[in-house]
Chain A
C-alpha cells in the first residue's frame, strides 16, 4: 500500500487495485482522488491497459494523514519557533491545505508560523535534512490548488511576517514582507501619493502575488507583477537566502547577471520561498474616471475593444461582462444595469486627458452599436461600479446557493477573442451548464465560472470537461491556458501542449538545479 504517493502514470489496472485496497483498509484516512482532465484522447489506450502517461489524462493518488511526520523534525521545528507557532491540529492543517478554488482540501502534516527570514531559513534547513516537502502559504486566495499539500509536508504560513520597509517616494519603491496584503500596502502609502496598481481582485499577499505572477484589471495599463517587481528575497530549499537583484538593490533597470527576479515570479513556490518583495510604485492618478456601456452582442463589444487597443488609447481598465454576469450582478449588488454584454472602462490621467479618452471610447462604442454610455467620477460612484465587478465571483455563486464553480482563465491574442468567446458560449449552451463570462478583454484574457452542484459528480465532470475544452481552444488559437491564475495543480495537464517538450525540459533542469530533492511545493506546475 503506497503512502503519500504521487504519480501521473497509473494504469487502469493499478487504479482498481488501489481502490480495492482502500476499501479493504476501510480507512477514513484514505482518500483516492482521481482527476480526469479529459478522457477523449486516451480512451483507446485505457482499453488496452497500457500505462497512461498522456497529458490529458492524469490520475493523482493521495493518502491523507497516513504517515505522521518524523518526530525529530517536529521537535526541531518546535524548538526553532516555539510551541505557539507550530501546529499539528487538524482544523489548522485543513485550513492550510486549501485555497479558494474548487479542489478538495489536502492538508499538510504540520503548519508553522515563522516571523523572520532567519526562521524561514532554519525551517527550510530542517525540512531539507529530513527530506520533507515545504509549501509556502500566504492568504490562501489562490484558485488553482497551489497550496494543496499533495505529498503532505510542512506548510509555512508566512502571514506573520508583516513588515513594510521605508517608502522610497522619490525612487518609487517599497519592500514588503509576505504578511502585507495589497490593500494594506495601498492604504499605507497613499499619503505619499503612491499606489501599487496590480489588482487581482482578492486582497492577496503581495509576495503570494509574486509567486503566482498575478495580474488583474489594471494590467492593460500598468502591467502584471512581472513588470512591477524590482527585487525578491527568496529562501531556497536548502535554507540559503537569495536576493535576486542583490541585497537592498532596487534600480529601475540593470544589466547585471541573469534575470533571477523574473525566474521566481510565477514559480508558485516550486523554486523557493519568497520572504520579501521590492515593488515598483506608481503615482496615484490625478483623475480617475469610470464608465460603462452596453452592447447588442459580445461581438460588438469585442470589436470595440480591438478598436480601442488599436487606437492605442491608454485605457486603465477594460472589462467585459456577458448577460449571465450582468444578471448575477444586478441580483447580488442591487444594481440596475441593462442585461446585455457590457464593457466597464476606467481612465487614469489628468482631467483633460481622461475626458478626451473617455469621449473617444464613447464614440467608438456607439459606432459599434453600444448604448447607455455612463460616467462615474466621484470616489463613491466609482467604488460602487467596481465593487459590482469585483464581487462577481460571489454574485455568481449566490445565483445557485450551494453550488461551486470551476474557474477558467484563458488568454488569447485580442484578435482571436471573439472566436474564443463565441465558441465558449456555444459550448455552455450545448453542455447545459451555466456560468458567466467576464474578463480583462484588453489583454485578451477572460474568466468563466462554470457552476456545478458538488453533490452531483456528473456535473463536476461536465464542468471540468468544459473547462478543459476551453483551455484547449485557447491553446489552438495560440493563447495560454492560464493568463493569471497560475498553473498550480489544476492546469498541469496543459503545460506540455502549451510550452512544448523542450520548454518543460528546461524548466525541469532549472528545478533540479535549485531543488534537487523536489521538496518545494512538489506536484505543482509540472
Chain B
C-alpha cells in the first residue's frame, strides 16, 4: 500500500540574507538576492524521500508555485531524491498578492489529478510565516490533517504522527489520504550531492498554469505599503529610583 506523496516547496529569500525594503515601499528587494527552498519544505522533502527509501511511499512529487526561478527549487528537491516535479508558474508581478489560499486550491487540484495519498508541506514559509497552507488544503480536500509533525510512522493503514504543541507533544493517528505539515525536529535534511544533482537534471518537471487546474488566482488582498520597523530609540539613563518612577509615570507605563 505504497503512498503517492506530494511535497510543497516554496522558493523564498534565503534565511541568511539581510532583507531590505524597496525605496518605493511596494515590497522587499528580491533582484539579485539569494533565494533557496524554504527550510521547513526541505524537511518535508527529506521525510518523503525517507518514506520512499523505506518503501512506505512509491513516488514523491515535488510541486512549487512561483516564477520561472522556482524550477531551481524543484531541481533541489529532485536532487534530494524526489522522482518528478510540477511547476505552477505564477508571474513575478503577481507574487506579492499570491496567497496561501491560492496555493491550497492548487495543491488540492493537483492532489485530485495525480491521485495523491499524502501531502507534506513545511509548517510555514520563512517569508510570510503564514502557517495556513496545510490546514486550508486539508479543509478543501476534506482530508484529515496533522500539523507541526516531529515524527511520522506507519501504523497499519493509518499514519501515527507526533505533533509539537504548546504543552509538549501530542500523538495522533490520521487516516490516509491526509495532509501533514513538517516541523523543525522531524528530521535533518540531506545535502544534494553532485551525482544526484546531475541525475536530477534528467528527471521530468511538468509545467502547469493555475488555469489548467481550474484555479482562480486573482488577488484578494492589496499591498498598501511595506516599511522597515521603526528604528530603535536610544534609551535614557536616570540618576535614581525616584527619577525612574517619575519617567515611568510620565510615559503612562505605571
| Chain A contacts to B: CB under 8 angstroms | 184, 187-188, 190-195, 283-286, 378-380, 383
Contact = CB atoms under 8 A, between A and B. Distances in A.
29 contacts: A184-B16, A187-B16, A188-B16, A190-B192, A191-B36, A191-B72, A191-B76, A191-B192, A192-B197, A193-B191, A193-B193, A193-B194, A194-B194, A195-B191, A283-B194, A284-B191, A284-B192, A284-B193, A284-B194, A285-B193, A286-B193, A286-B195, A286-B196, A378-B187, A379-B188, A379-B190, A380-B187, A380-B188, A383-B188
A368 B96 CA distance: 64
Contacts of B196: 193, 286
A101 B187 CA distance: 35
Nearest to B76: A191
Nearest to B187: A380
A383 B76 CA distance: 22
A188 B33 CA distance: 12
B189 interface: yes
Contacts of A193: 79, 191-194, 196-197
Interface of B: 14, 16, 34, 36, 72, 76, 79, 187-197
Given A193-B196, A284-B194, A286-B195, A188 B188 contact: no
Given A193-B79, A378-B187, 4 more contacts: A188-B34, A193-B197, A284-B193, A380-B188
A449 B87 CA distance: 54
A195 B194 CA distance: 11
A283 B190 CA distance: 14
Contact of B188 (A187, A190, A286, A378): A378
Contacts of B72: 191
B188 to A, nearest CB: 4
Nearest to B198: A193
A283 B193 CA distance: 7
A194 B76 CA distance: 13
Give the 10 A-B CB pairs with smallest separation, nearest first: A379-B188, A193-B194, A283-B194, A193-B197, A380-B188, A284-B191, A286-B193, A284-B193, A193-B193, A190-B191
Nearest to A285: B193
Nearest to B46: A379
Contacts of A184: 16
A324 B77 CA distance: 44
Most buried by B among A193, A285, A286, A378: A193
Contacts of B190: 379
Contacts of A195: 191
A87 to B, nearest CB: 16
Contacts of A383: 188
Contacts of A187: 16
A191 B78 CA distance: 11
Contacts of B194: 193-194, 283-284
A379 B46 CA distance: 11
